[in-house]
């Protein structure tokens, strides 16, 4: 086959047996660990953004503008630039700037503001009449956020989280090119630098499969919990 012309191996390529399984696990671990951090920090940040805004429960225009600008700055920095600029912070957090554990730090920093904005947009779609009705019944702001806003916006939040996870897969591939491990590192080190077309193809196909599984799962969960 043409794609295996440089090594003549394809399915007999030793990289497949020796390094591909570990690279798949590293990509999954990177995505899972980052996704957990993003959910824990991005969800409350998105809720705060919405409720500090003009249509929120506690409008604070000055605070909202400051937080919104910081979120937009975090979203706008290219991931490669972010990863390199955070190397000192990454070393401080995990003790090294290499490996999938280190990649989780810049991945989280880049994805938290992205997910927070998606959460804010999902909360904006909640019927204001429902919020007002519960507020008139004397419910606390915390109760309204948890039982009305988040509950009603949950399908949209799940959809936004799915989009975030899919974006993280592409970020993990970029992280691999600069020492982050995973399928991206394998594709770069062997597929690109050593001209192993079969390794490159395998990595691309596996990344596509992972993305397809995440998207299918997210869509299914979102439809299941959507009772509107």
pLDDT in tens, 132-184: 888 888 778 888 888 888 888 899 999 999 999 999 998 888 887 777 778 88
Residue numbers of the domain that contains 10: 2-225
Give the residue with greater pLDDT, 32 vs 141.
32
Where residue 176 sits, what CATH number does that domain have? 1.10.3720.10
pLDDT in tens, 90-128: 888 888 888 888 889 999 999 999 999 999 999 988 887
Average pLDDT of every residue of the chain? 84
Give the DSSP letter string of the chain.
-GGGTTTS-GGG-HHHHHTHHHHHHHHHHHHHHHHHHHHHHHHHHHHHHHHHSTTSSS--HHHHHHHHHHHHHHHHS-HHHHHHHTHHHHHHHHS-SSSHHHHHHHHHHHHHHHHHHHHHHHHHTS-HHHHHHHHHTT--HHHHIIIIIIHHHHHHHHHHHHHHHHHHHHHHHHHHHTT--HHHHHIIIIIISS--HHHHHHHHHHHHHHHHHHHHHHHHHHHHH---
Percent of the chain with pLDDT over 90: 34
Q: How far apart (Å, rounded) are the C-alpha atoms in residues 68 and 7?
A: 51
pLDDT score of 138? 74
Q: How far apart (Å, rounded) are the C-alpha atoms in residues 91 and 138?
A: 48
pLDDT band, very low/low/confident/very high, at 3 (cuts 50, 70, 90)? very low
pLDDT exceeds 50 at position 1:
no
In this structure, is the dihedral angle defined by the CA atoms of residues 116, 117, 121 and 124, taken in order, positive or negative? positive
pLDDT score of 94? 86
pLDDT exceeds 70 at position 17:
no
pLDDT score of 174? 80
Give the residue with greater pLDDT, 17 vs 75.
75
Longest dimension (CA), the chain: 73
What crossing angle do the helices spanning 100-124 and 20-52 adopt, rounded to 10°?
Answer: 40
pLDDT exceeds 60 at position 57:
yes
pLDDT exceeds 80 at position 8:
no
pLDDT score of 198? 80
Count up the domains in the chain and report the number. 1
């Amino acid at each position: 086959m043409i794609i295996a012309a440089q090594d003549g191996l394809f399915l007999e390529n030793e990289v497949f047996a020796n390094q591909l399984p570990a690279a798949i696990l590293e990509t999954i671990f990177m995505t899972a660990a980052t996704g957990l951090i993003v959910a824990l920090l991005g969800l409350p940040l998105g809720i705060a953004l919405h409720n500090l805004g003009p249509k929120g429960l506690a409008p604070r225009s000055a605070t909202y503008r400051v937080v919104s600008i910081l979120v937009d700055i975090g979203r706008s920095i290219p991931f490669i630039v972010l990863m390199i600029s955070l190397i000192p912070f990454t070393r401080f957090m995990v003790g090294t700037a290499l490996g999938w554990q280190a990649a989780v730090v810049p991945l989280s920093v880049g994805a938290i503001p992205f997910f927070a904005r998606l959460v804010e947009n999902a909360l904006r779609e909640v019927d204001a009449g429902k919020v007002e009705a519960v507020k008139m019944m004397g419910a606390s702001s915390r109760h309204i956020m948890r039982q009305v806003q988040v509950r009603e916006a949950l399908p949209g939040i799940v959809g936004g989280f799915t989009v975030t996870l899919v974006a993280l897969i592409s970020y993990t591939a970029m992280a691999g090119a600069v020492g982050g491990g995973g399928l991206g590192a394998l594709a770069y080190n062997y597929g690109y630098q050593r001209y192993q077309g079969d390794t490159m193809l395998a990595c691309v196909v596996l990344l596509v499969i992972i993305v397809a599984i995440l998207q299918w799962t997210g869509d299914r969960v979102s439809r299941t919990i959507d009772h509107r």
